[in-house]
Amino acid sequence: MQALMCHAFGPISGLRLEQAPDPVPAAGQVRVRVRACSLNFPDALIVQGLYQVKPALPFSPGAEFAGVVEALGEGVQQVSVGDPVVAFAGHGGLAERCVVDAARLLPLPPGMDFAQGAAFLLTYGTALHALRTIAGLRAGQTLLVLGAAGGVGLAAVEVGKALGARVLAAASSAERLELARHHGADAGIDYATQDLRRRVLELSDGRGADVVLDPVGGSYAESALRATAWRGSYLVVGFAAGEIPRLPLNLLLLQERRLLGVYWGEALQRDPAAHLRDVEQLVQWFAQGRLRPPITERVGLDGALGALQRMAARQLMGKVVVELGAQEVGAQEPGPG
């Protein structure tokens, strides 16, 4: 099979598109013919050895994907050969075939094509887990989303709206803010040119944001924490800016703010039942048209390396989906994103 392989942790340019042996599912595992794999920032980190998880070498990146079950390991009963599925595997999706634990598969939700299925679980799952379970976001509250035109950011905009919040989107250009507005944001803040804290206060009658979701970190974090309301919550989701911020704790004391960590990939393993409840909610919102996976670009496996480089260089918006394979397998046709 063709696979984008990482043979040594290092620059993304070190990835190689090459022939690799078809993987064989062990007991409890399933082999999936991958039809679409979306890119997430952790894919760029994991190949550089900068992610908290370091797979055994060599491996293919690609944390989440959709495809068709092709072979079953011993004891697998949850799925059958030919089933269309979505998977959060952590890595392995940028290959024509991937072996994954059966527990990490879900049926491809009704009405979803493979590209949408590949761009669903990780970002929307993270957003709902962060906003509902960790922060307890309520209808009528003000949510500030940083990096609001990125994968997690746009998912947080849509999930925030679905939970009934007023959503302020912050991003680094007018074009990015337009995309966030298209996905439901009520107002936008260009933090490349505007004072983030001042704009949030202006847009919230001086109260600040009840909940801040931050997948970016870096220099915006302190301004965003200062823009958090009395007893508001600041969600630490990621550090796409590359710098892990150090925040003065007096900013918590002075406004009884809460600083909350979010680690979706770990939480779903510790509490699979809660994860399934979240997925049910997300699938329902998708069916109602309230979630629209923001697929901005589709490439083949030969375009994945370049797209990962552009992701790491802050040049992408929304979700890039890598499409693999032809129409010979699978019950569904890819549709428009």
Q: Which is nearer to ligand NAP, 215 or 334 (CB)?
A: 215
- Report the alpha-carbon distance of residue 70 to residue 30 in Å, rounded: 8
Closest C-alpha to 211, from 266, 163, 267: 163
Of 92, 34, 100, 37, nearest to 61 by C-alpha is 92
* Smaller CB separation from ligand NAP, 4 or 72: 4
Least distance to ligand NAP, CB of residue 71, Å: 29
CA distance 22 to 3: 10
**Closest separation between CB of residue 134 and ligand NAP, Å?**
10
Nearer to ligand NAP, 37 or 72 (CB): 37
71 vs 271, beta carbon nearer ligand NAP: 271
Q: Are the C-beta atoms of 171 and 318 separated by less than 8 Å?
A: no
CB of 320 to ligand NAP, least distance (A): 9
Using CB under 6 A as the criterion, which residues of the chain lie in contact with ligand NAP when the complex forms?
40-42, 122, 126, 147, 149-153, 171-172, 176, 215-216, 237-242, 262-265, 311, 314, 316
**Dmax (CA) of the chain:** 61
Both tokens of residue 87? 């998977």
Q: Which is nearer to ligand NAP, 182 or 207 (CB)?
A: 182
**Residue number, nearest CB to ligand NAP:** 150
β-strand partners of 33: 68, 97
48-77 as b/e: b if 16+ CB within 10 A: eeebeeebeeebbbbbbbbbbbbbbbeebe
Give min distance, CB of 43 to ligand NAP, in A.
8
Question: Which residue lies nearer to ligand NAP by CB, 162 or 308?
Answer: 308
CB of 285 to ligand NAP, least distance (A): 18
